[in-house]
Amino acid sequence: MPEAVVFDLDGVLLDSEQRWNEAKESVARESGGGWREDAAETMMGMSSPEWSAWMRDALGVPLSAAAINDAVVERMAAGYAAGLPLLPGAIGAVRGLAERWPLGLASSSNREIIDAFLEIAELGDAFAVTLSSEQVGRGKPAPDVYLEAARLLGADPANCVAVEDSGNGLRAAAAAGMAVIAVPNPHYPPPADALELAAATVATPGELTPELVESVAAQRP
Protein backbone atom coordinates (compact mmCIF):
# COMPACT_ATOMS: atom_id res chain seq x y z
CA MET A 1 0.00 0.00 0.00
CA PRO A 2 1.33 3.48 -0.79
CA GLU A 3 2.02 5.84 2.08
CA ALA A 4 0.98 8.99 0.20
CA VAL A 5 -0.02 10.40 -3.18
CA VAL A 6 1.65 13.55 -4.51
CA PHE A 7 0.00 15.62 -7.24
CA ASP A 8 1.45 18.13 -9.63
CA LEU A 9 -0.88 21.09 -10.26
CA ASP A 10 -0.48 22.62 -13.72
CA GLY A 11 -1.51 20.15 -16.41
CA VAL A 12 -2.76 17.59 -13.87
CA LEU A 13 -5.52 19.41 -11.99
CA LEU A 14 -5.58 22.64 -14.00
CA ASP A 15 -5.47 23.16 -17.75
CA SER A 16 -3.11 26.04 -17.14
CA GLU A 17 0.25 25.51 -18.85
CA GLN A 18 -0.80 27.60 -21.85
CA ARG A 19 -2.05 30.34 -19.52
CA TRP A 20 1.37 30.53 -17.90
CA ASN A 21 3.05 30.77 -21.27
CA GLU A 22 0.62 33.41 -22.53
CA ALA A 23 1.30 35.47 -19.41
CA LYS A 24 5.06 35.10 -19.79
CA GLU A 25 4.98 35.98 -23.48
CA SER A 26 2.83 39.06 -22.90
CA VAL A 27 5.16 40.29 -20.14
CA ALA A 28 8.19 39.68 -22.35
CA ARG A 29 6.81 41.47 -25.41
CA GLU A 30 5.10 44.33 -23.57
CA SER A 31 8.28 45.16 -21.66
CA GLY A 32 10.42 45.25 -24.79
CA GLY A 33 11.92 41.77 -24.63
CA GLY A 34 11.69 38.99 -27.18
CA TRP A 35 10.18 35.54 -27.39
CA ARG A 36 11.37 32.22 -28.80
CA GLU A 37 9.47 29.31 -30.26
CA ASP A 38 11.05 26.97 -27.72
CA ALA A 39 10.49 29.28 -24.73
CA ALA A 40 7.42 27.48 -23.40
CA GLU A 41 8.97 24.02 -23.33
CA THR A 42 12.33 25.34 -22.10
CA MET A 43 10.71 26.93 -19.04
CA MET A 44 8.34 24.06 -18.26
CA GLY A 45 9.10 22.73 -14.80
CA MET A 46 11.41 25.59 -13.87
CA SER A 47 10.83 27.25 -10.50
CA SER A 48 9.82 30.91 -10.52
CA PRO A 49 13.37 32.13 -9.71
CA GLU A 50 14.66 29.99 -12.59
CA TRP A 51 12.17 31.03 -15.27
CA SER A 52 12.16 34.72 -14.37
CA ALA A 53 15.98 34.82 -14.56
CA TRP A 54 15.85 32.88 -17.84
CA MET A 55 13.39 35.39 -19.32
CA ARG A 56 15.66 38.23 -18.27
CA ASP A 57 18.83 36.65 -19.65
CA ALA A 58 17.69 34.58 -22.64
CA LEU A 59 14.77 36.69 -23.86
CA GLY A 60 16.28 40.08 -23.05
CA VAL A 61 13.38 41.20 -20.88
CA PRO A 62 14.59 44.56 -19.50
CA LEU A 63 13.28 44.01 -15.97
CA SER A 64 14.65 42.44 -12.83
CA ALA A 65 13.83 38.77 -12.27
CA ALA A 66 11.64 39.78 -9.33
CA ALA A 67 9.69 42.27 -11.45
CA ILE A 68 9.19 39.68 -14.21
CA ASN A 69 7.92 37.19 -11.66
CA ASP A 70 5.51 39.70 -10.11
CA ALA A 71 4.09 40.75 -13.49
CA VAL A 72 3.44 37.16 -14.58
CA VAL A 73 1.93 36.16 -11.24
CA GLU A 74 -0.39 39.18 -11.31
CA ARG A 75 -1.79 38.05 -14.65
CA MET A 76 -2.20 34.46 -13.47
CA ALA A 77 -3.92 35.45 -10.23
CA ALA A 78 -6.38 37.65 -12.11
CA GLY A 79 -7.19 34.81 -14.48
CA TYR A 80 -7.80 32.33 -11.66
CA ALA A 81 -10.01 34.80 -9.84
CA ALA A 82 -12.16 34.96 -12.97
CA GLY A 83 -12.44 31.16 -13.13
CA LEU A 84 -10.23 28.14 -12.53
CA PRO A 85 -9.43 26.06 -15.65
CA LEU A 86 -10.12 22.77 -13.86
CA LEU A 87 -9.47 19.59 -15.79
CA PRO A 88 -12.27 16.97 -15.98
CA GLY A 89 -12.70 15.09 -12.73
CA ALA A 90 -9.94 16.98 -10.89
CA ILE A 91 -11.93 17.82 -7.77
CA GLY A 92 -13.44 14.34 -7.50
CA ALA A 93 -10.04 12.69 -7.91
CA VAL A 94 -8.48 14.76 -5.14
CA ARG A 95 -11.39 14.17 -2.78
CA GLY A 96 -11.56 10.47 -3.54
CA LEU A 97 -7.85 9.82 -3.00
CA ALA A 98 -7.77 12.04 0.11
CA GLU A 99 -10.19 9.61 1.75
CA ARG A 100 -7.54 6.89 1.47
CA TRP A 101 -4.12 8.52 1.73
CA PRO A 102 -2.38 11.73 2.80
CA LEU A 103 -2.00 13.95 -0.25
CA GLY A 104 0.81 16.26 -1.24
CA LEU A 105 0.95 18.95 -3.90
CA ALA A 106 4.37 19.49 -5.50
CA SER A 107 4.09 22.26 -8.07
CA SER A 108 6.24 24.63 -10.09
CA SER A 109 3.60 27.32 -9.53
CA ASN A 110 4.40 30.19 -7.20
CA ARG A 111 3.33 29.82 -3.59
CA GLU A 112 0.69 32.53 -3.92
CA ILE A 113 -0.79 30.87 -7.01
CA ILE A 114 -0.99 27.53 -5.20
CA ASP A 115 -2.75 29.23 -2.31
CA ALA A 116 -5.19 30.94 -4.68
CA PHE A 117 -6.01 27.59 -6.31
CA LEU A 118 -6.60 25.91 -2.95
CA GLU A 119 -8.91 28.70 -1.80
CA ILE A 120 -10.94 29.01 -4.99
CA ALA A 121 -11.25 25.23 -5.47
CA GLU A 122 -11.99 24.77 -1.75
CA LEU A 123 -9.37 22.03 -1.52
CA GLY A 124 -7.23 23.40 1.28
CA ASP A 125 -8.34 20.63 3.62
CA ALA A 126 -7.64 17.87 1.09
CA PHE A 127 -3.85 18.26 1.03
CA ALA A 128 -1.66 17.50 4.02
CA VAL A 129 1.31 19.21 2.35
CA THR A 130 1.52 21.78 -0.45
CA LEU A 131 4.87 22.89 -1.82
CA SER A 132 6.18 25.18 -4.55
CA SER A 133 9.48 24.44 -6.26
CA GLU A 134 10.48 28.01 -5.41
CA GLN A 135 10.68 26.77 -1.81
CA VAL A 136 13.39 24.20 -2.62
CA GLY A 137 16.79 24.32 -4.28
CA ARG A 138 15.97 23.36 -7.83
CA GLY A 139 12.93 23.11 -10.07
CA LYS A 140 11.88 20.10 -12.10
CA PRO A 141 13.37 17.86 -13.60
CA ALA A 142 15.41 17.85 -10.38
CA PRO A 143 13.62 15.76 -7.73
CA ASP A 144 13.89 18.39 -4.97
CA VAL A 145 10.22 19.35 -4.70
CA TYR A 146 9.09 15.71 -4.60
CA LEU A 147 11.70 14.70 -2.05
CA GLU A 148 10.75 17.60 0.19
CA ALA A 149 7.04 16.84 -0.17
CA ALA A 150 7.68 13.24 0.90
CA ARG A 151 9.77 14.42 3.85
CA LEU A 152 7.03 16.77 5.01
CA LEU A 153 4.48 13.97 4.61
CA GLY A 154 6.66 11.70 6.71
CA ALA A 155 6.70 9.18 3.86
CA ASP A 156 9.39 7.20 2.08
CA PRO A 157 9.51 8.47 -1.54
CA ALA A 158 9.74 4.85 -2.69
CA ASN A 159 6.32 4.27 -1.12
CA CYS A 160 4.69 7.33 -2.72
CA VAL A 161 2.75 7.61 -5.98
CA ALA A 162 3.14 10.84 -7.98
CA VAL A 163 0.81 12.21 -10.65
CA GLU A 164 2.45 14.24 -13.42
CA ASP A 165 1.81 15.56 -16.92
CA SER A 166 5.04 16.97 -18.40
CA GLY A 167 8.36 15.48 -19.38
CA ASN A 168 10.28 17.37 -16.72
CA GLY A 169 7.66 16.57 -14.11
CA LEU A 170 7.74 12.85 -14.90
CA ARG A 171 11.53 12.90 -14.70
CA ALA A 172 11.45 14.75 -11.37
CA ALA A 173 9.03 12.33 -9.72
CA ALA A 174 10.88 9.28 -11.05
CA ALA A 175 14.23 10.71 -9.92
CA ALA A 176 12.75 11.06 -6.44
CA GLY A 177 12.08 7.32 -6.50
CA MET A 178 8.30 7.56 -6.71
CA ALA A 179 5.98 5.43 -8.79
CA VAL A 180 4.42 7.73 -11.39
CA ILE A 181 1.04 8.01 -13.06
CA ALA A 182 1.08 10.16 -16.19
CA VAL A 183 -1.72 12.48 -17.28
CA PRO A 184 -0.06 13.63 -20.53
CA ASN A 185 -0.55 17.29 -21.34
CA PRO A 186 -2.17 17.50 -24.81
CA HIS A 187 -0.78 21.01 -25.36
CA TYR A 188 2.81 20.00 -24.52
CA PRO A 189 3.00 16.18 -24.81
CA PRO A 190 5.84 14.62 -22.84
CA PRO A 191 8.57 12.96 -24.92
CA ALA A 192 8.48 9.20 -25.22
CA ASP A 193 11.48 8.62 -22.97
CA ALA A 194 9.83 10.56 -20.14
CA LEU A 195 6.46 8.89 -20.64
CA GLU A 196 8.16 5.50 -20.34
CA LEU A 197 8.98 6.40 -16.72
CA ALA A 198 5.27 6.22 -15.84
CA ALA A 199 3.78 2.97 -14.54
CA ALA A 200 0.34 3.97 -15.87
CA THR A 201 -1.17 6.62 -18.11
CA VAL A 202 -4.64 8.19 -17.98
CA ALA A 203 -6.28 10.81 -20.16
CA THR A 204 -7.86 12.91 -17.41
CA PRO A 205 -7.56 13.26 -13.63
CA GLY A 206 -11.04 11.83 -13.36
CA GLU A 207 -9.50 8.41 -14.12
CA LEU A 208 -7.30 8.55 -10.99
CA THR A 209 -9.00 5.98 -8.81
CA PRO A 210 -7.81 4.36 -5.57
CA GLU A 211 -7.65 1.06 -7.43
CA LEU A 212 -5.26 2.53 -10.02
CA VAL A 213 -3.04 4.02 -7.32
CA GLU A 214 -2.88 0.66 -5.51
CA SER A 215 -2.10 -1.12 -8.77
CA VAL A 216 0.76 1.24 -9.59
CA ALA A 217 2.18 0.97 -6.08
CA ALA A 218 2.00 -2.81 -6.26
CA GLN A 219 4.23 -2.82 -9.36
CA ARG A 220 7.18 -1.49 -7.36
CA PRO A 221 9.88 -4.07 -6.62
Q: Which residues contact 82 (CB under 8 A, 6 or more apart)?
A: none
Per the annotation, the verdict on 10 as an active-site residue is: yes
- Could you give the CA distance from residue 50 to residue 143 in angstroms, rounded to a whole number? 15
- Could you give the CA distance from residue 87 to residue 186 in angstroms, rounded to a whole number? 12
Q: Which residues contact 45 (CB under 8 A, 6 or more apart)?
A: 108, 133, 139, 140, 141, 166, 167, 168, 169, 172
- Could you give the CA distance from residue 212 to residue 18 in angstroms, rounded to a whole number? 28
Q: With H, G, I as helix, E, B as strand and everything else as coil, classify residue 59.
A: coil
Per the annotation, the verdict on 38 as an active-site residue is: no
- Active site residue ranges: 8, 10
